[in-house]
Structure 1
Amino acid sequence: MTSTRGAGRPKASSRETLAEAACELFLERGYDATSVADITQRAGVSRSSFFNYFSSKSDVLWSGLDARIDEVGLALGAQEKSADAASTRGILVEALHGFAPDPLALALRNRDAMGLDDELTRDSALRLARLASIVAAAASASGIPAIRAEILGAAYAAAVLSSLRVWAEQGAGYSAPETVLAEALTTLDDLRWG
């Protein structure tokens, strides 16, 4: 039986199909020139199916990392007053474990071709602030004074986002993102937790 839909794409409204369609279009047309309607048409799904998985076009890029940041928040929150440098670093490294190439990695690696400089700068800052706040709250809960906790949060969050960017730019086959992060965190040794 022959499909009448374009590109022979299966009629599935999965997150992966939508993300793949979005990334193809971002590479072909650029981020700003691609609409949600373009993505749903390419994926062969309805607009409502798109919004079952993503809250916005930008969310296509960031949803994988956002879920991992949520996990970091839960893990650090569960530690209550017992958070320390080693456990926090372990939680952050574990959050990137198994982070396979995804739309964010593709976007970071192809930011110029996709026309994503402004989008990535703006949305990276949002994730940086969110993750910094989570780490700072854990540091503060463990008894670290507020200003030091804020500095720790900012430094650890910057290490995570910088590591993802470097990993993506190197190419997924170079090393694992958690390895890049573990190495980046060693540069913070002079910024002691306690």
Structure 2
Amino acid sequence: MTPEPRSGRPRASSREVLSEAACELFLEQGYDATSVSDITRRAGVSRSSFFNYFSAKSDVLWSGYDEQADAAIERLREGQPVAQCLTAIGAGLAPDALALAITNADAMGISVELDRDRAVRQFRLQRELATRFMRDGTPELAAQVRAGALSAAVLAAVWAWADRTAAGRPLAEVLDAALALA
């Protein structure tokens, strides 16, 4: 006897489905009032499926950026040019949950979490850049300062881009301008 096909959302869900469900809930009831269980229920998946994709609720918002930053860090470690590694973040990041969260931070009640998570990611990129600069012979203080400026420029560009997404200015363009200032 052949089982009848199930209707509804498939068991295996993508990051995008979970991210969409989370953002809907964050807008409807706020970040703090939304649990991982709420997100998985909305997405139609199990709690363990959520943790296959994300380690915490806040990671839902950052997954697109994190993928691009991880790829950039890998390229930095391989010795590719720093500017090329950083601009690739802008080329690969599309409007996603992070951009939505940035533009709706107050409505989602997520401003504090975004600031905290931004600082963590900025420091991670700074650490990798400083390591690269020192490996290439830059003195430690100069490497730290330059890395701090560049990592801050990357995140500032993401914020400026998200605030202006409707104006149609691509992130790559905003990121190039920010890196030039750093």
Same structural fold, with TM-score higher than 0.5 when normalized by the shorter chain:
yes
| Structure 1 residue runs of 4 or more that deviate by more than 4 Å after TM superposition | none
1:105 is the counterpart of 2:111: no
Q: Aligned AA for 1:186?
A: A
Partner of 2:62: 62
Instruction: For residues 101-157 of structure 1, give each alpha carbon's deviation from its aligned partner in whole angstroms, at most 9, with x where no partner exists.
Output: 111111111111111111001110100100001111111111110000000110000
Seq. identity, %: 49
1:164 is the counterpart of 2:163: no
List gaps (5 residues or longer) in structure 1.
189-194
Is the CA contact (8 Å cut-off) linking 1:109 and 1:171 kept in structure 2?
Answer: no
Pairwise CA RMSD: 1.6
Q: Aligned AA for 1:156?
A: L
Q: 1:34 is paired with a residue of what secondary structure?
A: coil
Alpha-carbon distance, 1:173 to partner: 5.0
Is the CA contact (8 Å cut-off) linking 1:101 and 1:172 kept in structure 2?
Answer: no
List gaps (5 residues or longer) in structure 2.
1-5
Instruction: For residues 158-180 of structure 1, give each alpha carbon's deviation from its aligned partner in whole angstroms, at most 9, with x where no partner exists.
Output: 00000000000112552111110
Alpha-carbon distance, 1:11 to partner: 3.4
Distance of 2:54 and 2:169 partners within structure 1: 29
Distance of 1:45 and 1:78 partners within structure 2: 37
TM-score, with length taken from structure 2? 0.91
Distance of 1:156 and 1:185 partners within structure 2: 6
1:11 is the counterpart of 2:10: yes
TM-score, with length taken from structure 1? 0.86
Selected match of 2:172 from 145, 155, 178: 178
Matches within 5 A, 1:1-194: 10-12=9-11, 13-79=13-79, 87-171=81-165, 174-188=168-182
Distance of 1:76 and 1:17 partners within structure 2: 31
Q: Aligned AA for 2:57?
A: K
